Structure 1
Amino acid sequence: MRVLIVEDERRLARSLAQGLTAEGFAVDVVHNGTDGLHRATETSYDLVILDIMLPGMNGYRVCAALRAAGDETPILMLTAKDGEYDEAEGLDTGADDYLTKPFSYVVLVARVRALLRRRGRGSTASPELRVGDLVIDRGARRVTRAGAETSLTAKEFAVLEHLASRAGEVVSKAEILEHGWDFAYDGDPNIVEVYVSALRRKLGPDLIVTVRGAGYRLVASRA
């Protein structure tokens, strides 16, 4: 699955690219509408994440130009809601979905996967993560360990999914926050400890190892 991100907020674009790459997508990033239209025209993508307020050429014009050229690639539009731009106009230009900033990364990934499923293109993105006796079904948002299903909150699921996608690696609190929280989040990074503790309670204390001063590592069961 190949995704194009057209976003002039570089920190947001970088965060999205890192998260989607960890999900198994190939990601290209450009920072203005003119480059976005050129890249989308010259390269085949499975989905375009398109900001509305862009330098050079706004997202509405990029979307309309792609649709006028017969390009049916799914488009997810992003905007900071300010009254001037609205959902109706975005969808009228041919966008498939619309997300208002700030947003949760979990919500964005859910929208991306829904768009890909809707177009019948989602089958090649791995829907399941397996680490030892832990199984994470991303599509159904189900988690089982040793065959027993466990109910998780959205944030718990996001933290676990990110750790599992990088099983065996040390993942910092900052990386977990970037994956699972709003990009505008500037609170205490120790909130991650709360969710790691909850996951240990629900799934067992041996699953997530604390690496002091560095972060956390998800490990396979030694059973």
Structure 2
Amino acid sequence: MRILLAEDEKELSRVLVTAMHSKGYSVDPAYNGLEAVEKASQGVYDLMIFDVMMPVMTGIEALKKIRAAGDQTYIIMLTAMSEINDRVTGLDAGADDYMTKPFSLKELLARLRSLERRSENYTNDILKFGDITLDSNEQRLESFNSISLSAKETKLLNLLILNADKKIDSDILIAHVWENEDDLDQDTLWIYISYLRQKIQAVNAHVEIQGKKGGPYQLTNTSGGESNDSKVSL
């Protein structure tokens, strides 16, 4: 699991990064809200953890910008005990959860394990982007009509929707969708990208997977209007 950690207290950041690295997680640290927004726009993450009070741009401001860009990655906010209003504001702005400082490393790592278990069965049950809806539990893509997807197609589209409008390298898609499976190559990914393109066309959606064989690939809204993407449930 790849994590973006935005925490301006460098000693706390170092402790958290060390603890997460020890459990096999890949962590990219950021030390202010603007840096977090920039890294989120360039990378693909399974989880983001943002402190509320940060310099340059607060965690809530960063959260709003990331959600406005269409990024639906699971985000946990870190708040001080007295920041009740910030917790409410953060959840209303699109945060998925929060942890109150001070918190124990055991609790944080337990939450990460819980998120990992969810990701094995798709992090999000229902996702929307543009005029498509992906029901991961039913492995069904819907727009003006509906069509069934395979398990791998579902995971691939899930990741593309969560990171809509980002250019995603082939290696990242393979690592997230096929995980520890051996002998996966660009040709296999290209076959699944082609399948998804055909099925998106089959439901008459105004959504497109852009990119040539070898990647990077990018999910875009071709309707010319608002993407109207939203995370419906977890």
Q: TM-score, normalised by structure 2?
A: 0.49
Q: Which moved more, 1:43-52 or 1:108-117?
A: 108-117
Where in structure 2 are the equivalents of 1:200-211 lying within 5 Å? none
How far the C-alpha of 1:61 sits from its partner, in A, is 1.0
How far the C-alpha of 1:88 sits from its partner, in A, is 1.6
Which secondary structure state, in structure 2, belongs to the residue aligned with residue 70 of structure 1? Answer: coil
Residues 79 and 87, structure 2, Cα contact 8 Å, conserved in 1: no
Deviation digits for residues 4-53 of structure 1, max 9, x if unmatched?
Answer: 11000111100000000000011111100000100011111111111000
Q: Tell me, in whole angstroms, the C-alpha distance in 1 between the residues paired with 2:121 and 2:42.
A: 20
Residue 57 of structure 1 corresponds to: 57
Query: What count of residue pairs does the alignment treat as equivalent?
Result: 123
Residue 9 of structure 1 corresponds to: 9
Residue 46 of structure 2 corresponds to: 46
Which stretches of structure 1, 4 residues or more, deviate above 3 A after TM superposition?
Answer: 83-86, 115-123
Where in structure 2 are the equivalents of 1:103-118 lying within 5 Å? 103-118=103-118
Q: Tell me, in whole angstroms, the C-alpha distance in 2 between the residues paired with 1:73 and 1:87.
A: 18
How far the C-alpha of 1:84 sits from its partner, in A, is 6.1
Where in structure 2 are the equivalents of 1:10-25 lying within 5 Å? 10-25=10-25
Residues 52 and 60, structure 1, Cα contact 8 Å, conserved in 2: yes
Letter in 2 for 1:36: A
Deviation digits for residues 80-112 of structure 1, max 9, x if unmatched?
Answer: 122464322111111111001000001111222
Q: Tell me, in whole angstroms, the C-alpha distance in 2 between the residues paired with 1:101 and 1:12.
A: 11
Q: Tell me, in whole angstroms, the C-alpha distance in 1 between the residues paired with 2:40 and 2:72.
A: 11
Letter in 2 for 1:39: K
CA separation of 1:22/1:83 partners in 2, compared to 1, >3 Å: closer, same or farther?
closer
Letter in 2 for 1:105: L
Q: TM-score, normalised by structure 1?
A: 0.51
Residues 4 and 40, structure 1, Cα contact 8 Å, conserved in 2: yes
Q: Tell me, in whole angstroms, the C-alpha distance in 2 between the residues paired with 1:48 and 1:62.
A: 11
Q: Tell me, in whole angstroms, the C-alpha distance in 2 between the residues paired with 1:24 and 1:55.
A: 29
CA separation of 1:121/1:112 partners in 2, compared to 1, >3 Å: closer, same or farther?
farther
Letter in 2 for 1:35: E
Q: Tell me, in whole angstroms, the C-alpha distance in 1 between the residues paired with 2:13 and 2:98.
A: 16
